Structure 1
Amino acid sequence: MAAIDMGSAPAGVEYGGKVNMAFVAMIVAVATIGGFMFGYDSGVINGTQDGLEKAFNLSKLGTGLNVGAILVGCAIGAFVAGRLADIWGRRSVMMIGAALFVVSALGAGA
């Protein structure tokens, strides 16, 4: 019977049943922090609803559309950033994100 070449093992896993638990713990920690930050952002957005209504004279429908659009935009941005990180690399995408954050912060301050 011929041996089957299974290729190289995925990162953090060795064939033969051994698992790198430190690597798995790191993945779990990053996923947990990501979920926490999404929840924190939702809380911040909910805290701005009264200010949005007053500043832009919005109805409840307008406020709901704005808040929903922000959350949908966050999800789309995360998806696009992940795909760009696959193409350009994680570090480059984080640098672009940081630059866009600085520009948006200066624009919001102005």
Structure 2
Amino acid sequence: MSDTRASSSGAVSLASLALRMLGLMAAGVAGNAVRRTARQIGGWSVVAALCTVSVGFFSFAAFGFLSHWLDSSYAGLILGAVYLVAALVLALILQSGDRRGRSTR
């Protein structure tokens, strides 16, 4: 009877050890994923900030140029239309990239 208790307690401790190791591996993988995601978010935030500043300077210059040749209301409409088209094209590109990423997984 003591042999069965010894073998079952050994099996329990082995299963417990395996579960602990699995938990540690999962924590390590999750930690790496969090670090990678944080790095990507930080990088894309810098890119977004630089793009925002450049669009501001570009808009100011384009508005000044267009308002010199046209009325300022037409200049605003033209710039608004250009940015709307650019936003729609970017949305299409991002949407197609999303679909492509899901289909390969």
Please state which band the TM-score falls in when normalised by the shorter chain: 0.5 to 0.7
Unaligned ranges ≥5, structure 1: 1-8, 90-110
With the length of structure 1 as denominator, give the TM-score of the two structures.
0.51
1:70/1:35 Cα in 2 relative to 1: closer, same or farther (>3 Å)?
farther
Aligned to 1:38: 52
1:35/1:77 Cα in 2 relative to 1: closer, same or farther (>3 Å)?
farther
Residue type of the alignment partner of 1:65: L
In percent, how many aligned pairs have the same letter?
A: 16
CA RMSD, Structure 1 to Structure 2 (Å): 2.5
Unaligned ranges ≥5, structure 2: 1-25
Instruction: Give the 3-state SS of the residue equivalent to 1:20 in structure 2.
Output: helix
User: Whose RCO is larger (CA < 8 A, sep 6+)?
Assistant: 2
Q: Aligned pairs, how many? A: 73
> Is 2:87 the counterpart of 1:75?
yes
Q: Where in structure 1 do 4 or more consecutive aligned residues deviate above 4 Å?
A: none
With the length of structure 2 as denominator, give the TM-score of the two structures.
0.53
